[in-house]
């Protein structure tokens, strides 16, 4: 306050001095006044601005203002030229004193030093006459005397300031101590204190709590504001009106509630009290007062109110019945208690005698004693829970558990009874006990297998007696083990699917399964299962029924019904109630579409439906089966012939029972019967033909065979002349060739029918083949004058691809038959190309012709025109059938056109495409191999075959050895190799006793490779399979019996050439034949 007053005085003096300088320029001795005016105004402005400075800056501002004043005084003395004689210099001591007292000794010392320096500086300036003139000091002595006086005044001001500062400091310290004691006492009594002036503006506000230290800046900002304008204070309207009324009445007030936000996000609750202030003359100065922080009390009261509200709300909303009573009468009850006692609202319970609600006897007496015991116990104590029986409004009996707590009420003590209505629970428990007893009895006595297992682990928790009986496992063996350990399900995957389905769907019904008993027996079951939770675990309960016999019977019935070849249906009241798949397929109805339809839909019309009823009705009415064959109708309107059998399912009540219908389509059966008759006729004809064929073949075989045997006997007669013997030998050869041809036909047909005849596809000259055939067969007709002509398409002079042998056999058979059956006229062979792939051949004759009926069976085996043909012309009847089979295997076809008396035309169309052109430069011919001197081993168990082979080979100059079986052949080959004279080739029969040719070849191949020792298969079984077996056994080539000398020679030459030629004989070794 002193500093601010000083600032006001300095400001006033400075302004006044500036006015004097400005208004009295003549008194300045000609000096310019404005610099001094401005200097004075600057100090005045500085002083005025410092009046509203913050308290913490006041000390420094006081020193600054005083120092500035010293400087301005020195400046003015200089400008006026007065120097140390200036009257204002005397103020230096006062300013130093004020600086010392207000700002402290440091600023006082600084002001004293500055003042002394200014005095000395002015004196020196005057002595040196730097100033404009000195009108106040005449001599130097007086100048320095004046300077000494000014310095004395400065020192006196410093000394006075020192003394005054000490006195003021002691008084301020004492005042601070009193204030601190006052503040301490005030802090105990209040949390904040305040002062306002007579216009209700806040002069001071201070909060005692250290936590509010951060809010000091805001507290200072409150100064000058009315209490109701403070930004952080909140006061309700009613307390604000009271406050205004007290202030206007200048009377004390106590504990007015308000709220102050002393800290951010914290609103405190306070009670404010105030006392008016008056001066000694009774003038109103304002108010001062204190504030007490009651936030904790307010919050406690709010919490208590909230708790009471919550408890009251809980009391009303809790589903547990609560009754407060004293002296047996109800004081309060919640809605749950009213509901338990069957009353619409709690008010209906108030005032009633609670003990009267207990059933008389034990329950009521125990309730009375419990209430008396509780009233004698401290508040808050409770009794153990006990079960009581009560009677509600309307007579409903209640079973409840109850406990009591002693509580204090305004009128004394009371008991709060807490009920738990167990009526439904007890009823449910009783029902559960009854259900458990019944369920336990059912599980124990059920004929079905029942198990309980953990869903997660699969371990069995319980099995019933039927389980033990059906599976052979005792309960102790099963419980605790899983299905995977027992293997009860035959199909483990089926069990996994069963459990997965229960996990997904919760239950499975009637699943077919197969169990395996402890003894390993399979049992058919129908299994149902469900998932349920117990003790926080998921369990699986399984019910399985042994349906082994029932399932077998059901499956048999179902299989019979579903797979029956005949249609089965059931009608009731002339409508279909069941139809098996065969019945639906038979009548062309989609599955299930017949069910519910009238029986009329399977008959052609209403008349037929009535006729069937008339025909079958009487027998069905008597419970008998009735059968008839009639035409029925399909869904598409087509009809078929069916055998219909009907019978009442319940013969004892045919009128009320359903009817079983058996329907069989006999259309094909009747057709088959007709076909069977035709086939029987054909079979009998074929049998007759086969018999004729056997008789004819027997004749055809015996004729050349008798020729061979008879001519051989005649040739063996020593008396036979040489020329006659040669004739006999020629006849033997002819007969043997005829016999070989017949056997060849039989073998060819057998190979074709067995599917073992293989065609060759190689290029050959078709024109040359046809010319050879014409030349060969022309001689057959010459004795009768029948000419053979050949007409060829020029395009056939090229090479073709196909089987030349089969082509020759087909055409040769045609030509042979034509020349054989043509008595006169001619036979003509024609051939031309139909397209790039096919060639047509036709053989025309002028023979007797063939009837149409005979033509249809002429290409069948064992068939000729008639028996007279066989007797007249001979033959086996196989030739044309062989031609047909060969042509079909080649991909072609054969046929004939003929009329009796007009000759015949036998034709064949064969796939013979042109062969690609041959290379212009022919491959060089293999050099001829000389067989003379070669060594060959012939291995055959048949002596005649060996003799033929040996003699044939010896005529070619080959040295031949013989072996009678495979074992001997192996030994001779090894011996010859060891002797240094190995065989050049081995002719090995395939079928020999002991070691066969195949086994012998495999044995030799372990010692000799195919190049070193050629082995040629020699067999009468000229089949491809035999050839393949021979090559697989390690043989080099294949030759057939009877011996074809040129073919055998070529085969031997080829094998020996691959070997490198004939081996040179070891010196001294013999290359002679030996018998084995």
Contact 330, 228 (CB under 8 A): no
Q: Is 592 in the same domain as 626?
A: yes
Residue 745 pLDDT level (bands cut at 50, 70, 90): low
d(CA 713, CA 962): 28
Dihedral of alpha carbons 993, 997, 998, 1001, sign? positive
Q: Is 881 in the same domain as 951?
A: no
Provide φ and ψ at 822, rounded to 5°. Answer: -95, 115
d(CA 104, CA 108): 6
The answer to the question of residue 917 being in a domain is no
Nearest Cα neighbor of 62 from 174, 205, 165, 163 is 165
The answer to the question of residue 855 being in a domain is yes
- Which tokens belong to 450? 């029942």
Residue 97 pLDDT level (bands cut at 50, 70, 90): confident
Domain that holds residue 202: 190-300
Contact 808, 890 (CB under 8 A): no
Q: What is the pLDDT of residues 634-660, one digit of tens each?
A: 988 898 888 889 888 888 888 777 888
Measured at the CA of 241, the angle between CA 239 and CA 247, to 5 degrees, comes to 100
Q: Is 142 in the same domain as 269?
A: no
Instruction: Give the chain's count of helices (H) and strands (E).
Output: 31, 33
Contact 617, 599 (CB under 8 A): no
Q: Is 262 in the same domain as 123?
A: no
The answer to the question of residue 105 being in a domain is yes
pLDDT of residue 429: 81
Q: Is 409 in the same domain as 533?
A: no
d(CA 596, CA 606): 18
Pairing of strands 284-293, 266-278: antiparallel
Nearest Cα neighbor of 17 from 79, 73, 96 is 73
- Which tokens belong to 734? 């002819």
d(CA 881, CA 861): 5
Identify which has the larger pLDDT, 965 or 36.
Answer: 965
Q: Average of pLDDT values for 828-835? A: 94
Identify which has the larger pLDDT, 74 or 497.
Answer: 497
Q: Average of pLDDT values for 5-21? A: 73
pLDDT of residue 128: 73
* Domain CATH number, residue 242: 3.30.450.20
**Sequence-ordered alpha helix ranges (H) in 411-541:** 423-445, 465-471, 475-478, 483-486, 492-505
Residue 141 pLDDT level (bands cut at 50, 70, 90): low
pLDDT of residue 942: 87
Q: Is 879 in the same domain as 986?
A: no
* Domain CATH number, residue 976: 3.40.50.2300
The answer to the question of residue 672 being in a domain is no
Please report, for residues 346, 578, 605, 640, the alpha-carbon distance to residue 600 in angstroms, rounded to integers and kept in the order given: 77, 15, 8, 16
Q: Is 483 in the same domain as 605?
A: no
The answer to the question of residue 728 being in a domain is no
pLDDT of residue 874: 47
Nearest Cα neighbor of 33 from 86, 87, 80, 81 is 80
Contact 846, 903 (CB under 8 A): yes
Neighbouring C-alpha atoms within 13 Å toward the C-beta of 503: 11
The whole-chain average pLDDT of the chain stands at 81
Coil vs helix vs strand at 55: helix
pLDDT of residue 328: 79
Of 15-19, 449-453, 975-979, the least confident: 15-19
Q: What is the pLDDT of residues 357-403, one digit of tens each?
A: 898 888 888 888 888 888 888 887 888 888 898 988 888 888 888 98
Pairing of strands 985-989, 202-207: unpaired
Residue 870 pLDDT level (bands cut at 50, 70, 90): very low
Radius of gyration (C-alpha) of the chain in whole angstroms: 73
pLDDT of residue 219: 67
* Domain CATH number, residue 829: 3.30.565.10
- Which of these three, 665, 685, 703, is where a domain ends? 665
Q: Is 367 in the same domain as 272?
A: no
d(CA 1036, CA 1055): 7
213, pLDDT greater than 50: no
d(CA 269, CA 291): 10
- Count CB-CB contacts under 10 A for residue 719: 6
The answer to the question of residue 323 being in a domain is yes
608, pLDDT greater than 60: yes
- Which tokens belong to 162? 């020192």
**Sequence-ordered alpha helix ranges (H) in 849-965:** 852-855, 867-873, 879-890, 943-954
Of 307-316, 383-392, 800-809, 1007-1016, the least confident: 307-316
pLDDT above 90 as % of the chain: 16
Q: Average of pLDDT values for 128-135? A: 61
Q: Is 821 in the same domain as 861?
A: yes
Continuous segment of H or E residues that includes residue 98? helix 91-103
252, pLDDT greater than 90: yes
Measured at the CA of 391, the angle between CA 389 and CA 397, to 5 degrees, comes to 75
Cα-Cα-Cα-Cα dihedral of 1022, 1024, 1029, 1030, to 10°? Answer: 50
Nearest Cα neighbor of 259 from 240, 241, 244, 242 is 240
Measured at the CA of 296, the angle between CA 290 and CA 297, to 5 degrees, comes to 80
Q: Is 845 in the same domain as 977?
A: no
**Length reported for the chain:** 1076
Strand ranges of the sheet holding 575-579, from the earlier edge strand across to the other edge: 575-579, 567-572, 659-665, 639-648, 626-633
d(CA 912, CA 761): 10
The answer to the question of residue 1027 being in a domain is yes
- Which of these three, 426, 457, 482, is where a domain ends? 426
- Structurally, the chain folds into a number of domains equal to 7
The answer to the question of residue 751 being in a domain is no
pLDDT of residue 754: 55
Q: Is 45 in the same domain as 74?
A: yes
pLDDT of residue 137: 47
Q: Average of pLDDT values for 795-808? A: 89
Please report, for residues 41, 271, 329, 400, the alpha-carbon distance to residue 391 in angstroms, rounded to integers and kept in the order given: 105, 57, 16, 10
Tokens 């009573």 belong to residue: 325
Q: Average of pLDDT values for 1001-1009? A: 93
- Which of these three, 267, 300, 333, is where a domain ends? 300
pLDDT of residue 978: 93
- Which tokens belong to 776? 């060969």
661, pLDDT greater than 70: yes
Q: Average of pLDDT values for 24-44? A: 70
- Count CB-CB contacts under 10 A for residue 762: 12
Residue 1019 DSSP one-character state: E
Q: Cβ neighbours of residue 1016 under 8 Å, at least 6 residues apart?
A: 985, 986, 987, 988, 1035, 1036, 1037, 1038, 1039, 1051, 1052, 1055
Q: Is 816 in the same domain as 881?
A: yes
């Amino acid at each position: 306050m002193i500093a601010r007053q000083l600032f006001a005085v300095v400001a006033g003096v400075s302004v006044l001095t500036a006015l004097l300088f400005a208004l009295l320029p003549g008194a300045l001795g000609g000096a310019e006044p404005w610099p001094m005016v401005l200097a004075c105004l600057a100090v005045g402005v500085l002083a005025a601005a410092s009046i509203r400075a913050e308290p913490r800056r006041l000390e420094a501002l006081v020193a600054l203002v005083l120092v500035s004043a010293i400087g301005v005084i020195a400046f003015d003395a200089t400008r006026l030229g007065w120097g140390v004689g200036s009257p204002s210099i005397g103020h230096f001591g006062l300013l130093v004193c004020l600086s010392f007292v207000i700002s402290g000794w440091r600023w006082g010392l600084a002001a004293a030093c500055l003042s002394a320096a200014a005095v000395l500086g002015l004196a020196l300036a005057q002595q040196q006459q730097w100033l404009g003139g000195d009108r106040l000091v005449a001599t130097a002595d007086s100048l320095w005397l004046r300077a000494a006086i000014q310095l004395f005044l400065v020192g006196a001001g410093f000394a006075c300031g020192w003394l005054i500062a000490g006195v003021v400091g002691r008084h301020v310290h004492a005042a601070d101590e009193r204030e601190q004691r006052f503040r301490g006492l005030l802090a105990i009594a209040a949390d904040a204190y305040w002062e306002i002036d007579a216009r209700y503006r806040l002069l001071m506000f201070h909060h005692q709590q250290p936590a509010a230290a951060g809010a000091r800046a805001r507290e200072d900002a409150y100064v000058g504001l009315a209490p109701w304008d403070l930004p952080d204070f909140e006061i309700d309207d009613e307390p604000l009106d009271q406050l205004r009324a007290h202030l206007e009445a200048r009377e004390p007030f106590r504990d007015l509630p308000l709220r102050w936000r002393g800290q951010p996000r914290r609103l405190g609750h306070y009670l404010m009290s105030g006392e008016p202030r008056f001066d000694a003359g009774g003038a109103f100065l304002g108010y001062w007062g204190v504030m007490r922080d009651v936030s904790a009390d307010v919050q406690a009261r709010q919490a208590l109110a909230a708790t009471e509200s919550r408890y009251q709300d809980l009391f009303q909303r809790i589903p547990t019945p609560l009754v407060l009573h004293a002296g047996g009468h109800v004081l309060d009850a919640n809605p749950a208690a009213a509901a338990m006692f069957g009353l619409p609202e709690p008010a209906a319970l108030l005032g009633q005698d609670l003990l009267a609600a207990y059933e008389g006897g034990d329950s009521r007496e125990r309730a009375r004693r419990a209430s008396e015991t509780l009233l004698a116990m401290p508040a808050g104590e409770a009794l153990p829970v006990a079960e009581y029986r009560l009677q509600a409004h309307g007579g409903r009996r209640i079973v409840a558990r109850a406990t009591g707590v002693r509580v204090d009420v305004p009128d004394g003590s009371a008991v709060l009874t807490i009920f738990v209505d167990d009526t439904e629970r007890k009823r449910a428990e009783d029902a559960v006990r009854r259900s458990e007893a019944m369920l336990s009895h059912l599980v124990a006595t059920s004929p079905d297998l029942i198990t309980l297992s953990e869903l997660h682990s699969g371990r069995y928790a319980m099995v019933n007696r039927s389980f033990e009986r059906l599976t052979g496992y005792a309960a102790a063996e099963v419980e605790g083990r899983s299905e995977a350990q027992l293997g009860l399900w035959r199909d483990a995957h089926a069990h996994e699917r069963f459990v997965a389905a229960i996990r997904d769907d919760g239950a499975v019904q009637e699943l077919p399964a197969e169990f395996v008993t402890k003894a390993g027996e399979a049992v058919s079951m129908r299994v149902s299962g469900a998932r349920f939770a117990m003790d926080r675990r998921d369990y699986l309960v399984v019910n399985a029924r042994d349906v082994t016999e029932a399932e077998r019977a059901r499956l048999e019935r179902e299989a019979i019904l579903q797979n029956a070849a005949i249609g089965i249906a059931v009608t009731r009241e002339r409508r279909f109630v069941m139809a098996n798949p065969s019945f639906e397929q038979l009548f062309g109805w989609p599955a299930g579409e017949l069910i519910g339809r009238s029986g009329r839909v399977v008959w052609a019309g209403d008349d037929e439906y009535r006729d069937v009823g008339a025909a079958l009705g009487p027998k069905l009415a008597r419970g008998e089966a009735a059968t008839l064959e009639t035409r029925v109708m399909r869904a598409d309107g087509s009809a078929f012939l069916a055998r219909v059998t009907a019978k009442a399912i319940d013969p004892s009540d045919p009128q009320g029972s359903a009817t079983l219908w058996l329907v069989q389509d006999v259309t094909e059966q009747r057709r088959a019967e007709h076909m069977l008759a035709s086939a029987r006729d054909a079979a009998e004809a074929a049998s007759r033909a086969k018999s004729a064929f056997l008789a004819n073949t027997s004749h055809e075989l015996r004729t050349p065979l008798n020729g061979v045997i008879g001519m051989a006997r005649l040739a063996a007669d020593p008396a036979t002349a040489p020329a006659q013997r040669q004739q006999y030998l020629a006849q033997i050869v002819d007969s043997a060739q005829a016999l070989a041809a017949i056997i060849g036909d039989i073998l060819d047909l057998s190979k074709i029918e067995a599917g073992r005849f293989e065609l060759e596809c190689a290029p050959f000259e078709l024109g040359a083949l046809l010319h050879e055939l014409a030349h060969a067969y022309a001689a057959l007709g010459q004795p009768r004058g029948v000419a053979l002509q050949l007409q060829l398409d020029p395009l056939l002079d090229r090479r073709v691809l196909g089987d030349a042998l089969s082509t020759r056999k087909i055409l040769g058979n045609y030509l042979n038959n034509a020349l054989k059956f043509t008595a006169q006229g001619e036979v003509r062979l024609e051939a031309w190309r139909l397209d790039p792939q096919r060639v047509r051949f036709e053989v025309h004759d002028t023979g007797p012709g063939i009837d149409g009926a005979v033509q249809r069976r002429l290409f069948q085996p064992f068939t000729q025109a008639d028996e007279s043909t066989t007797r007249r012309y001979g033959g086996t009847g196989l030739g044309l059938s062989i031609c047909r089979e060969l042509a079909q295997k080649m991909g072609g076809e054969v046929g004939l056109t003929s009329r009796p008396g007009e000759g015949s035309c036998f034709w064949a169309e064969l796939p013979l495409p042109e062969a690609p052109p041959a290379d212009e430069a022919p491959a060089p011919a293999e050099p001829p191999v000389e067989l003379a001197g070669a060594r060959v081993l012939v291995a055959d168990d048949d002596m005649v075959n060996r003799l033929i082979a040996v003699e044939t080979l010896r005529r070619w100059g080959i040295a031949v050895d013989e072996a009678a079986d495979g074992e001997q052949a192996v030994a001779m080959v090894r011996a010859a190799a060891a002797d240094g004279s190995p065989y050049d080739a081995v002719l090995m029969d395939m079928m020999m006793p002991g070691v066969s040719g195949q086994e012998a070849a495999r044995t030799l191949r372990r010692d000799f490779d195919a190049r070193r020792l050629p082995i040629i298969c020699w067999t009468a079984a000229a089949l491809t399979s035999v050839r393949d077996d021979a090559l697989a056994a390690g043989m080099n080539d294949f030759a057939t019996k009877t011996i074809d000398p040129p073919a055998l020679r070529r085969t031997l030459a080829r094998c020996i050439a691959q070997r490198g030629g004939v081996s040179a004989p070891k010196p001294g070794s013999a290359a002679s034949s030996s018998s084995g």
